[in-house]
Structure 1
Amino acid sequence: MCSNFYPKDGTTGCTLEAKDFTALLPRFHKLNAEVLGVSEDSSQSHCDFIAEHELKLVLLSDPDHKVMEQYGAWVVSSFGSLTYGRAIRTTMIIDPAGIIRHYMPEVMPQGHAGRVLEKLEALQSLQ
């Protein structure tokens, strides 16, 4: 499984990344891997995002950031006296036993899906 945490539905980088993962999804499936996208957006936002861009991904809503916090994809930042939380674009490759086999923090969206696929192929070739 590839868990892909991302900041916001419909933004430029997140849209590019989601479309790339959708295009490569058949290759992920051939490797018996599912791609899950996780953000703080609502289920309705995910449905709209999927429909607008014809995405084939499973998108999960984490409005209270609990999952993102557990996986290090939600950070608290500050600007002067202002403190706020934000999602950081992070991907993990998780094996069937639930073990994180590869962690990719603060990734760049362009070409990311391809890099994840390459890493998954490399990990599976070691087994």
Structure 2
Amino acid sequence: MTEYSINPGDPAPTRIELDTWPEGRLKLADLAGQWIILYFYPKDSTPGCTTESCEFRDARPDFSAAGASIVGVSRDSVRSHGNFTEKQALNFTLISDPDETLCKAFDVMQLKKNYGKEYMGVERSTFIINPEGDIAAAWRKVSVKGHVEEVLNTLKELQSS
């Protein structure tokens, strides 16, 4: 089992400012006082990442009704995020993290294997950050199917407790 350096109950790294689509620049601290659904994904316009992003897009009204903002993060460029957003009609912010600053802060850069080769890559992960700026829930090694619904249900449980 992998040990992570950041876990539920820990303060979220909210002071890192990065380029985004479409806002320009953003740090999570700009969203202080509200719930944040922060999800990390490997690459724009790939099958699993497209499915996950479109499911977050479709569920955005439910997250908004619960007072939560959705923010996606990958190492892709702002331009790539713009193309991805337009092609998939995404309705939330995507952070560009080419230097892996936010990815490393959330400990999502993990050793992966593909066709026998090992490399460091983004481990598909989602975090719920509460209005106080603490990590309230975390999912690692996310399987896309049913994930967005699980995140929404967990958000509602956290808000009612």
CA shift for structure 1 position 78: 7.1
**Range with bigger deviation, 104-113 or 15-24:** 104-113
CA shift for structure 1 position 76: 3.7
Q: Which runs of 5+ in 2 are unaligned?
A: 1-35
CA shift for structure 1 position 83: 5.7
- Where does 1:1-127 land on structure 2 (aligned, <5 Å)? 1-77=36-112, 84-126=119-161
**Range with bigger deviation, 68-77 or 95-104:** 68-77
Distance 1:113 1:77, change over 3 A: closer
Aligned residues: 124
Superposition RMSD on alpha carbons, in Å? Answer: 1.5
Could you list the runs of 4 or more consecutive aligned residues of structure 1 that deviate by over 4 angstroms after TM superposition? none
Determine the C-alpha separation between the residues in 2 that align with 1:41 and 1:86. Answer: 12
Determine the C-alpha separation between the residues in 1 that align with 2:93 and 2:152. Answer: 17
| 1:77 and 1:86 in contact (8 A); partners too | yes
Paired-residue identity, %: 36
After TM superposition, the score normalised by the length of structure 2 is 0.73
